[in-house]
Each structure stands twice: as C-alpha cells, then as structure tokens.
Amino acid sequence: MLKPLEITKKPARNYSRAVMAITWKDLAAELRSRELLSSMLVFSLLVIMIFYFALELDVKARNGITAGALWVTFAFAGTLGLNRSMAVEKDRGCLDGLLLAPVDRSAIYFGKAISNLVFMLIVEAIVLPVYSVMYNINLFNPGLLMVTLLGSVGYIAVGTLLAAISVQTRTRDVLLPILLFPLAIPVLVAAVKASSGFLLGLDMSEITPWLNILIVYDIVFTAVAFMVFDYVVEE
C-alpha cells in the first residue's frame, strides 16, 4: 500500500531541522489563532495603565521608574506566554509526539525556547513604542534594545525549562511564576539597572557590570537547560 521510504541518517542536519520545525510550527499556529500574543499584549497594556494610577507616574517620577515598570510588565506577560505555549503541547498529548521524534530531546527545548523568545520580543516591540507615546518618553535607544534582548534571552531560557516542569504538575496554573521569579531575580535586577542606566545616559562603566551579569546568566542557564532537559521530559 505504501511505498517504502529510504530514510537516510543525517544527525547534525536533523537536529537543526527539528529545532526550526518546532519554531515554525509554533509561529504558524500562532499566526492563525493569535491566542497567545493577543492575551500577552492586552495584559501588558493593562499593566502599563495600572502603573500610571498605582505609581502616579508624573514627569519627574517617570525617568527613574520606567525601566522597572517595563520589566515588571515583560516578566508578567512572559509567564503568560510560557504557560500557554507549554500547555498547548501537554493538553493534546503533543509533547509525546515531540518526544517520539528521532532527535535529541534538547532540540525540543531549543525549538520551544526560540518560539517563546520570538513571542516575547514581539510583545516588547509593541509595548515599548506604546509606552513611549503614553508617557512621552523616548525609548528608542540602541542600548535599551540590546538590554531588552539579553534580558529576554535569560528569562526565556530558564522560563521554558520551568514551564516544561510546571505543566506536568497538578498545580500548573499557579506554579510557573512561583518557580520562575525567585530564579529570575538576577536577570530582572540586571535588566532594570542596565535599562535605566541607558535611559538616564549614565557612563558605560556603570552599565557594563550589569551587561556582564546578563550575559553570564544567559550562557549559564541556556547551557544548564540543555543538559537537564532530558530529566524534565523522560518518565
């Protein structure tokens, strides 16, 4: 009935192809449903507005607080997206489908992490200009954009791993932020300080230490997640 296939083994190519396939699949599904991005975005905009009333962000207060307000927004929106993106895999058994594929399991981690990162960057790309307009602050600053990227990489690196853990527990809806926030403190502190450093036009010597922390965190946690992901998905 079916023609037999010649399946040749090209492990290296297979790995990157699998990573890209997962990212492509997530983006294609999201492009159609827009469930994840729209909820992340609406949530972010609400948080930004709440900050106005909660902190009375007048012109003077803004400069000092903007970086903090932005990162709190990104962190919360990020957990929404991370939770959802893993729940999609778990609910319909698709995680098993991924695990059945003949690729190293860390390819699944990288595929999911890249698509999560893309979602977070899209949200940030929309939130930043909106914040600029609403609070009349110029956020188009190459330094700030770089910090946003570095911070998001670290946050997503550890967040994707923890989402894979929390989705397999009974308390999964509430667990992810509880697991993630205490571990993400170095990223959040460093990202806030570096962002506000760039916004306030501080000397690079004051910003560099924070960038170093971000880079170290990104490298360490990506490497560790790569090493331990197997333990998170096996049975």
| Window 160-199: residues binding another protein (CB under 8 A) | 161-162, 165-166, 168-172, 175, 178-179, 181-186, 189-190, 193
Q: Which amino acid, 202? A: L
Position 57 contacts another protein (CB under 8 A): no
Q: How many residues bind another protein (CB under 8 A)?
A: 73
Cα gap 3→149, rounded to integer Å = 47
Rounded to a whole number of angstroms, the minimum distance from the CB of residue 141 to another protein is 19
Tokens 């159609």 identify what position? 32
Position 150 contacts another protein (CB under 8 A): no
Position 13 contacts another protein (CB under 8 A): yes
Torsion of Cα atoms, 184 then 187 then 190 then 194, to 10°: -140
Choice from 37, 80, 82, 88 touching another protein (CB under 8 A): 88
Position 208 contacts another protein (CB under 8 A): no
Q: CA angle 12-98-180, nearest 5°?
A: 100
Rounded to a whole number of angstroms, the minimum distance from the CB of residue 53 to another protein is 26
Position 10 contacts another protein (CB under 8 A): yes
Applying the rule CB under 8 A, the residues between 97 and 116 that interact with another protein are: 97-104
Tokens 């709190």 identify what position? 72
Rounded to a whole number of angstroms, the minimum distance from the CB of residue 93 to another protein is 3
Rounded to a whole number of angstroms, the minimum distance from the CB of residue 232 to another protein is 6
Rounded to a whole number of angstroms, the minimum distance from the CB of residue 5 to another protein is 4
* Separation of CA 198 from chain center: 22
CB closer to another protein, 41 vs 111: 111
Position 215 contacts another protein (CB under 8 A): no
- DSSP one-letter code for 91: H
Backbone angles phi, psi at 168, to 5 degrees: -95, 15
R_g of the chain computed on alpha carbons:
19
Within a 10 A sphere around the Cβ of 57, how many other Cβ atoms? 18
